[in-house]
């Protein structure tokens, strides 16, 4: 393996940026970074140009870093470009890399085609780092890690707010914690009140609040939340999927609770963050098994209606909310 060749692939941009920065800091002094970093977008530039640059001696200093983005030739179905990449040039370089250049290949794709010769060669010669989104149950350690890096304290007791409002997007999590750090200052502690006030609200968080509105049979609040999400360019079909996932977890938690499972045991079966399970345990008390089954059925039927274009999506979703909130009444009518 050539230590100076790196492949970073995945859709978690925070991890990609973090890894890229570590390589740069390890390879170049602060003074050399201004002149000895080259970047290429392979949707606009052939790979051959980046390889020629890598093989050219540094203008100043002893090392240089070449960063190439969007290696479309690693996809199963490469994008159509106005030129062709001579991938053999890259493969030849991988077999005989120069010592004075660090080559970083960044593929922001969920998957790459591991059957391709060029990937097999990269796997053999390069240090490959997968940068995929983190799991919900890993979010606690990332909150602590980012907070430590920014020299602030975020109590474990309010981690649930970050999970609910932000989810698992690390780049967004970093930006939100940076915003809090500016307010509390170095060595400061984030309070629940400050976090509730300053954290940006995600569609997932609004989805959870919509579940609560259904649970509390508050149609007005549910409609307001829906309209806010529409203004934020959220698609009604996406919101149905979001509600369906929430109600499925509630249904699973209820079933496991009836079988005598404890909260920590449920995590092994549901594979969700402890906070998600904790909130589902609170919510399941408001629904019977029959009501949960009816709600999931209503969601599936509305999803079908929308996808078939049988009704305006906004109207269909508002009617869905009405039926969910009045589920007992509608069950009685149907029977």
Among residues 147, 166, 197, the one where a domain terminates is 197
pLDDT digits over 284-319, tens only?
A: 988 899 999 999 999 999 999 999 999 999 999 999
Domain hosting residue 94, numbered range: 5-130
CATH of the domain at 224: 1.20.272.10
Confidence of residue 1 (pLDDT cuts 50, 70, 90): low
Residue 203 has pLDDT above 70, yes or no: no
**HEC string for the chain:** CCCCEEEEECCCHHHHHHHHHHHHHHHCCCCHHHCCEEEEECCCCCHHHHHHHHHCCCCCCCCEEEEEECCHHHCCCCCCCCCCCCHHHHHHHHHCCCCCEEEEEEECCCCCCCCCHHHHHHHHHCEEEECCCCCHHHHHHHHHHHHHHCCCECCHHHHHHHHHHCCCCHHHHHHHHHHHHHHHCCCCECCHHHHHHHCCCCHHHHHHHHHHHHHCCCHHHHHHHHHHHHHCCCCHHHHHHHHHHHHHHHHHHHHHHHCCCCHHHHHHHHCCCHHHHHHHHHHHCCCCHHHHHHHHHHHHHHHHHHHCCCCCHHHHHHHHHHHHHCHHHHHHHHC
Among residues 83, 101, 130, the one where a domain terminates is 130
Question: Do 251 and 165 fall into the same domain?
Answer: no
Among residues 145, 175, 197, the one where a domain terminates is 197
Does this model's pTM top 0.75? My answer is no
Question: Do 184 and 254 fall into the same domain?
Answer: no
Q: Look at residue 316 in the predicted model and tell me its pLDDT.
A: 94
What total of structural domains would you count in the chain?
3
Question: Do 226 and 292 fall into the same domain?
Answer: yes
pLDDT digits over 70-106, tens only?
A: 999 999 888 889 999 999 999 999 999 999 999 999 9
What is the average per-residue pLDDT within 216-232?
A: 84
Question: Do 36 and 124 fall into the same domain?
Answer: yes
pLDDT digits over 176-190, tens only?
A: 999 999 999 999 999
Question: Do 263 and 282 fall into the same domain?
Answer: yes
């Amino acid at each position: 393996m050539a230590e100076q060749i790196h492949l970073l692939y995945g859709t978690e941009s925070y991890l990609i940026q973090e890894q890229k920065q570590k390589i740069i800091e390890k390879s170049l002094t602060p003074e050399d970074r201004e002149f000895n970093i080259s970047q290429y977008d392979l949707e606009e530039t052939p790979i051959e140009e980046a390889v020629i640059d890598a093989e050219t001696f540094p203008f100043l200093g002893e090392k240089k870093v070449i960063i190439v983005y969007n290696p479309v030739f690693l996809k199963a179905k490469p994008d159509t470009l106005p030129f062709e990449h001579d991938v053999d040039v890259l493969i030849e370089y991988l077999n005989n890399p120069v010592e004075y250049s660090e080559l970083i290949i960044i593929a922001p794709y969920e998957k790459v085609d591991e059957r391709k010769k060029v990937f097999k060669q990269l796997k053999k010669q390069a240090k490959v780092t997968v940068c995929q989104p983190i799991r919900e149950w890993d979010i606690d350690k990332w909150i602590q890690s980012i907070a430590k890096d920014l020299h602030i304290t975020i109590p474990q007791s309010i981690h649930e707010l970050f999970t609910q409002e932000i989810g698992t997007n690390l780049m967004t999590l970093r930006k939100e914690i940076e915003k809090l750090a500016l307010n509390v200052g170095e060595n400061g502690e984030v309070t629940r009140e400050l976090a509730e006030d300053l954290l940006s609200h995600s569609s997932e968080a609004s989805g959870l609040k919509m579940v609560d509105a259904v649970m509390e049979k508050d149609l007005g609040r549910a409609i307001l939340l829906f309209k806010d999400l529409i203004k934020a360019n959220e698609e009604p079909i996406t919101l149905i999927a979001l509600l369906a996932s929430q109600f499925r977890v509630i249904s699973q938690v209820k079933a496991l609770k009836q079988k005598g499972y404890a909260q920590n045991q449920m995590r092994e079966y549901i594979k969700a963050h402890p906070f998600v399970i904790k909130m589902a345990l609170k919510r399941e008390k408001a629904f019977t098994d029959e009501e949960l089954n009816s709600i999931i059925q209503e969601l599936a039927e509305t999803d079908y209606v929308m996808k078939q274009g049988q009704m305006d999506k906004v109207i269909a979703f508002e009617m869905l909310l009405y039926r969910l909130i009045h589920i007992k009444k509608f069950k009685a009518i149907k029977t």
